[in-house]
Amino acid sequence: MNTGASWTTLAPVSGTATIFGMVPFGTKIELHGFDFLRDRKIQGTSMGGNRFRVDMPRLLSLWRQGRLKLDHLLSGRLKLGEINEGFAALKSAAPVRQLIDFGG
């Protein structure tokens, strides 16, 4: 993936481009210095600025109250013993989100 080639088209003059998600370890992104002369910025985030210790308990509470609908986003459920099959499925890009049952 050549991220650096297209970021300037996404970030207008004085704009900011954000790379989100996990970039594979060791992946290098090449940028041209000239692109920064027009007050453009580039930043990265893996979880959108999530404050895990604060946000996760709040989201779980909303889910338990029925105010946050998440179940329809699941593409499948796995037992912990099926974790290797889950990783294999991820490589095939078939599932979107799978829930891992750590209890069984």
Chain Cα centroid distance, residue 68: 19
What is the pLDDT at residue 23?
A: 76
What is the pLDDT at residue 30?
A: 78
Task: Give me the amino acid identity at 93.
Answer: A
Residue by residue, pLDDT tens for the chain (104 residues) are: 454 446 666 677 888 888 777 777 888 877 778 877 888 888 888 777 788 899 999 999 999 999 999 888 888 889 999 989 888 888 887 767 888 998 85
Q: Where are the alpha helices (DSSP H) in the chain?
A: 3-10, 52-64, 83-91
Q: CA angle at residue 31 from 16 to 14, to 5 degrees?
A: 25
What is the pLDDT at residue 1?
A: 44
Task: Give me the amino acid identity at 10.
Answer: L
| Assessment of whether the complete model's pTM goes beyond 0.95 | no
Q: Which residues pair with 100 in a beta bridge?
A: 78
Q: How far apart are CA 52 and CA 71, in angstroms?
A: 20
Q: Are strands 41-45 and 76-79 parallel, antiparallel or unpaired?
A: unpaired
DSSP, collapsed to helix, strand or coil, labels residue 13 as: coil
What is the pLDDT at residue 61?
A: 96
